[in-house]
Structure 1
């Protein structure tokens, strides 16, 4: 674990899972072109994570709706 992973802000379980997929907070931040030690960048990283989580929830809800409707479309 890189020492800068200790700079990780509090994350939800879903946010933590996304970070883990990138190899940790430091790797996630680096892949987004952000510096984990910069407070403004850390805030932006948190915002990006929140957006990823929201998109995941939308995708799951959409798949569930299609499943419940038998895959029928509105046309």
Structure 2
């Protein structure tokens, strides 16, 4: 299963894990399984949202 389309923030997070396959494995998910890939995308989207919120909070200090 190829890496899904990612936002720039999601891509940076994914890269910090060494790529999509490593990110999926670190979450205990199988990158070749469609349901796992969807769950991985949801997880990375959540991580990206949290990071963007943290960045906004830092800018407002």
Fold shared per TM-score above 0.5: yes
Larger CA Rg, structure 1 vs 2: 1
Question: Does residue 1:37 correspond to 2:32, yes or no?
Answer: yes
Distance in structure 2 (CA, Å) of the matches to 1:32 and 1:8: 15
| Number of aligned residue pairs | 61
Higher relative contact order (Cα pairs below 8 Å, separated by 6+ residues):
2
Distance in structure 2 (CA, Å) of the matches to 1:8 and 1:22: 13
* Aligned counterpart, 1:28: 23
Distance in structure 2 (CA, Å) of the matches to 1:14 and 1:21: 11
The list of structure 1 runs, each at least 4 consecutive aligned residues, that deviate by more than 3 angstroms after superposition, is none
* Aligned counterpart, 1:58: 53
How far the C-alpha of 1:28 sits from its partner, in A, is: 0.2
Distance in structure 2 (CA, Å) of the matches to 1:14 and 1:64: 17
Distance in structure 2 (CA, Å) of the matches to 1:10 and 1:54: 16
RMSD between aligned residues = 1.1
TM-score, normalised to structure 2, is 0.91
Q: Unaligned stretches of 5+ in structure 1?
A: 67-75
